[in-house]
Amino acid sequence: AFAKNPALVLDFYNFRRRKVREAEPNRAHVALAELEQYFDVHIITQNIDDLHERGGSSNVYHLHGEIFKMRSVLNETVTYPIFEDIHLGDTAPDGGQLRPHIVWFGEAVPMYEQVLPLVHSADILLVVGTSLQVYPAAGLVFQVAPHIPIFVVDKNVPNVSMPNVHPIQQPATQGIDIFITQIMQDYF
């Protein structure tokens, strides 16, 4: 779509950026941040918003990019902050058109390799609010050791046929509190 109509795509993300600025972290975002008082918590998210950071989390990895960053079409490794709109004709210092720092379909997910060691060393994996249909992110559940408990919080828990999966069929805002209660009682 960007190749065919870049102005339309930029407008789409400009609109989304404005909506994210208006949004507020929910109970789940805040609760995950509160867990940092007791545990070494790393948030690996497919979301492009900054609600985890505004909720208080300090170790956040955005697999699919960040709405408040932009980059040149010529270089995906250098990013710049953006809080307003990106327009057709706005260029980076390298002369390339600026675009949102978002992973689009068909593009690599560069953060995936960075988060793999975190998943491999996890004591617990908590999966929140996902259908587990978007790869490669969905494949992270298969990267933990077989004895590591995986808690899946979602209104519609996807079918994951693994003995170490513990479903919590609730919205994230309620399911996180159930998880916290359960983890505190069962594991510590």
Annotated active-site residue in 52, 62, 64, 101: 64
Residue 188: the pLDDT is 64
Q: Rounded to the nearest 10 degrees, how much is the dihedral formed by the CA atoms of 26, 151, 132, 70?
A: 40
Give the pLDDT confidence score for residue 49 in this predicted structure: 98
Polymer length in residues for the chain: 188
Q: How far is Cα 100 from Cα 65, in angstroms, rounded to an integer? A: 8
pLDDT number for residue 134: 84
Span 152-181, pLDDT tens digits: 999 988 887 788 899 999 999 999 999 998
Q: Look at residue 160 in the predicted model and tell me its pLDDT.
A: 78
64 is catalytic: yes
Q: Which of 57, 38, 41 minimizes the C-alpha distance to 188? A: 38
Mean pLDDT by 10 residues, the chain (188 residues): 96 98 97 94 97 98 97 96 97 98 93 96 94 87 93 88 89 94 74
